Amino acid sequence: MKQNSEPAIHILRDTLFSVSLALKLSGFVSHPPNWNESKRKRDYTLWNVVEGTVCIEIHQKTYIAYPGDVVIFSPNVHYKAYTGSNGCKFLFHRFSLDIGYKNDALAEMNLSGLVREKYLGNACLAFCKNTLQKPLNHNPLEKYASFLSYLSQLLYVADAHMEHFFPLGKPNHNDSITFALRYLNKHFTEPVNIKEIALQCHLSEKYFIHHFTEMVGISPKKYIIECRMRYAEELLRATNQKISDIATHIGYADAYSFSKAFHKRYNQSPSEFRKNA
């Protein structure tokens, strides 16, 4: 009996992708009474409040974070933050997270907001205490693993219990970009018409490309190429598929077009990459 190989393809697509976590900056800060700042975040940022209270003002609404609470900022979010008469202390992490072909694995989420300690079950304070007890030259692999484990738990809780700074769709058409990312993540191996996606987002093509690039960091066209290249990378590492078959599988008309794009991205041919990997 001929067996259907389609499930194996789905398993391959779901399990082969790598996780890339970049901890760009982290530290413990103590702010005096009546401290205040007004900034726009460039990266995903966590504030794990340890002592005192932090007030965050966004769009004329104020949120108060207490010890054990976690504040999460997405890139490009502008905020005002300040303390009262007792000051505050918090652990912060600036980071990015890529999963497989997703250049920004968190971009689809409405992630700016506040997660209360009661939903985390002291996980925030335990993570902070454990982090602060480690010496500066502590094993970086353990540091990354600890943060990734904590981040996974935090995102799971945030999905159900976050107090969002912005309703989905605000500000600045973020819901449209979220829709676009979800669509591209599912269909990047197919021919994609950017103008049609912009129309579905109720945006002009020019403004859609501008805002997508501002939010994600690269243009829609480059995002599609990046998704294809990362998928190709995983297939080259983990399978024996022919280069021509991989080219077709990820959306290229022929092996030459794929090899040319791959060489531009990795500075080596697919065959060389597979041999070195």
Distances (CA, A) of 71 to 118, 145, 265: 14, 21, 36
- In this predicted model, what pLDDT tens digit does every residue of 156-188 receive, in sequence order? 898 888 998 876 544 445 667 878 888 888 889
What is the spatial distance between Cα 194 and Cα 139, in angstroms, rounded to a whole number?
Answer: 44
Q: Encoding tokens for residue 14? A: 């779901």
Question: pLDDT tens digits for 63-73?
Answer: 999 999 999 99
- Please state whether the predicted TM-score (pTM) of the whole model is above 0.75: no
List the domains of the chain with CATH numbers.
18-164 (2.60.120.10), 174-276 (1.10.10.60)
pLDDT at 22: 85
pLDDT digits (tens, 9 = 90+) for 97-152: 887 666 677 877 778 899 999 998 878 778 888 887 776 556 778 888 888 889 98
Q: Which residue has the higher pLDDT, 139 or 270?
A: 270
Q: What share of the chain is helix, strand, coil (3-state, %, to 5)?
A: 45, 25, 30
- DSSP-based three-state secondary structure for 29: strand
Identify the band that residue 9 occupies on the pLDDT scale cut at 50, 70 and 90: very low
Q: Is residue 250 predicted with pLDDT exceeding 70?
A: yes
Start-end of H helices in the chain: 6-15, 117-120, 123-133, 140-161, 174-187, 194-200, 205-216, 220-238, 243-249, 255-266, 270-276
Mean pLDDT computed over every residue of the chain: 83
**Cβ 37 vs Cβ 103: under 8 Å:** no
Q: Classify strands 44-52 and 54-58 as parallel, antiparallel or unpaired.
A: unpaired
